[in-house]
Amino acid sequence: MGIIYQKNKITGITYAYDNKAYWDKEKQQSRSKRTLIGKVDPVTRKIVPTRPYKKKEHQNLVVSGKPGPNPITKIRRSFYGACHLFDQIGKETGVATDLKLCFPDTYKQMLSIVYYLILEENNSLSRFSHWHKLHIHPYGEDIPSQRSSEMFQAIEEEARMLFFKKQGKRRIEKEYWAFDVTSISSYSETLKQVKKGQNKEHDRLPQINLALLFGEESGLPFYYRKLPGNITDVKTIKQLMGEFDVMGYKKVSIILDRGFYSKGNINELYKNHQKFIIGVKLSLKYVKEVLEEERENLRLWSNLQTQFGTYGLCRTIEWDYEQERPYKGDILKGKRRAYLHLFYNPEKAAKDQADMNEHLTSLYNDLMENTRKEYRMKDYNKYFEVTETPKRGRKIKPKEDAMREAARNYGYFALLSNEIKDPFEALSLYRSKDIVEKAFGNLKERLNFRRMEVSSELSLNGKLFVEFVALIYLSYVKKKMQDAGLFEKWTLQGLLDELDLIELFQAPEHGRLLGEVTKKQEDIYRALGVEPPSL
């Protein structure tokens, strides 16, 4: 008895065998029996055990069906249609391939949780076990809450950034990227980046901020950043440019809301050679000057675009560029070409007036009832004068000059770009940033992330990433539905429920049988750019 080694001349692999000697009574001579132990590692010279071969009687349990390689060990009837859709989306977008490369040990668990988050709207992960029993999904096994928490904590920053890099390069240079920030409230006292800050919902809870980058044409997200809750939008651009450089995004065009506008940010964009479209306030000195010069011309018929119901024109301006050079201790100054786009929309003018009337009434009521809100303090002072005496009490007088000045700009708005010369091309691209706002709605409402239900930084980072991957799939479906006009007949949930009705029946020794696929379901798959399931 002993171990012998034998090298395969074709592959160059050395195999180790257990050699046992025995006496052959018939041939009256000593013989030996060899049993494969494993391969010899060429570096360490250690024996690496090989997997045992399956016996023939068990091989017929493995049926080569599309849903997966797992052997059929029991009779099972499961819902399959919606998961088939997600399988194909994963291939089309490259998400499944990129996840497998970046997270080889856990990508199937991630995909299963992604499918669950989309199909089980607003349900917590504690319900996964119930969903698993009824559905075919990539992992094929239950993922208890403890296991999902461990998976979230195991998601490393390096792998996450690699995923962003690969997803971004699938669409780089093909489209503008819309960038925006939202807030997510939290009750946690242990998360470091949870800070009190301002948000659009005026939520009093501490929060973190989430920055999201979306493709204007594809309608898909491919990058996000988690920020402390007290960080304002205007402070994020420099960091964004730095991370673009890390991920190798050289030729990028981005769309930014006017909340990101600052002179420093525009200089940073020019410095990094980024093409941009950004909303700008009419109160800025250079915008106000050009608007006064063009106010009458702007509303001429020749500047009307009927498709938008909007008047628009472009003025080429010079941007006063400044760049600090710490290594030289000076500031580099120069001129950069920019395009200021001015617009007037009559419908927006009517809406602006109605909104302002409502706003002024609300401000007045706050002052009358002495219930001032901190985030409105500037507006109280801007539009009203409050005096109070012991005899006459509180007297509130409107500042009509300020109100007239605001009324002059009802319906007007402006954009700034360093690339797009046509005002309506710029407007069309800028409006595409709405997909980011809708994505934030999907993330908070449908994907159940309005409040963070995690207690550690690692869990938060991991859950955010998996929720982000789910957002890619959800955004893909919604974009395809919109392009195919499916929202005229279906809601998103109704469409997914219709596909989810398709069953898959599995039985040992009989393989997999696909349930009936109706003509209506086939039409939905094809409208979404996916072939119906078949075995």
- Rounded to 5°, angle at Cα 141 from 137 and 145: 105
The answer to whether residues 503 and 77 touch, using CB atoms and an 8 Å cutoff, is yes
- Looking at residue 500, what is its pLDDT? 94
Please name which of 154, 159, 232, 226 lies closest in space to residue 452, comparing C-alpha atoms: 226
Computed from CA positions of residues 381, 383, 389, 394, in that sequence, does the dihedral angle turn out positive or negative? negative
Give the type of residue at 149.
S
Q: Dump the DSSP string for 304-361.
A: EETTTTEEEEEEEEEEEEEEEETTTTEEEEEEEEEEEEEEE-HHHHHHHHHHHHHHHH
Q: Which helix (H) or strand (E) is 18 found in, with range?
A: strand 14-24
**CA 290/CA 298 separation, integer angstroms:** 11
> What's the confidence (pLDDT) of residue 89?
96
DSSP assignment of 178-196, as one string? EEEEEEEE---SS-TT-B-
Whole-number pLDDT of residue 297: 94
C-beta of residue 183 within 8 angstroms of C-beta of residue 193 = no
Return the bridge partners of 275, or none: 253
**So what's the pLDDT on residue 193?**
43
Would you list the domain boundaries of the chain? 2-53, 348-408
**Cβ-based neighbour number of residue 366 at 10 Å:** 16
Please choose, from the candidates 448, 430, 446, the residue with its C-alpha nearest in 3D space to the C-alpha of residue 438. Answer: 446
Which pLDDT belongs to residue 259?
A: 84
**Average pLDDT per 10 consecutive residues for the chain, totaling 535 residues:** 69 75 68 77 73 40 43 79 95 94 94 93 82 92 89 90 86 74 56 44 60 81 70 66 73 83 90 90 94 94 92 96 85 93 96 95 92 91 89 86 93 95 92 73 65 62 88 91 92 93 84 88 95 85
Residues in the chain: 535
User: Of the candidates 516, 424, 438, which has an alpha carbon nearest to the alpha carbon of residue 481?
Assistant: 438
Between the CA atoms of 338, 341, 342 and 345, what dihedral angle is there, to the nearest 10 degrees?
-160
Please, which contacts does 6-14 make with residues 24 or more away whose CB atoms are closer than 8 Å? 13/39, 13/40, 14/39, 14/40, 14/42
Predicted pLDDT of residue 43: 66
Local structure of 105: helix, strand or coil: coil
* d(C-alpha 186, C-alpha 194), whole Å: 7
pLDDT digits (tens, 9 = 90+) for 93-131: 999 999 999 999 999 999 999 999 899 877 778 889 999
The model's pTM: 0.68
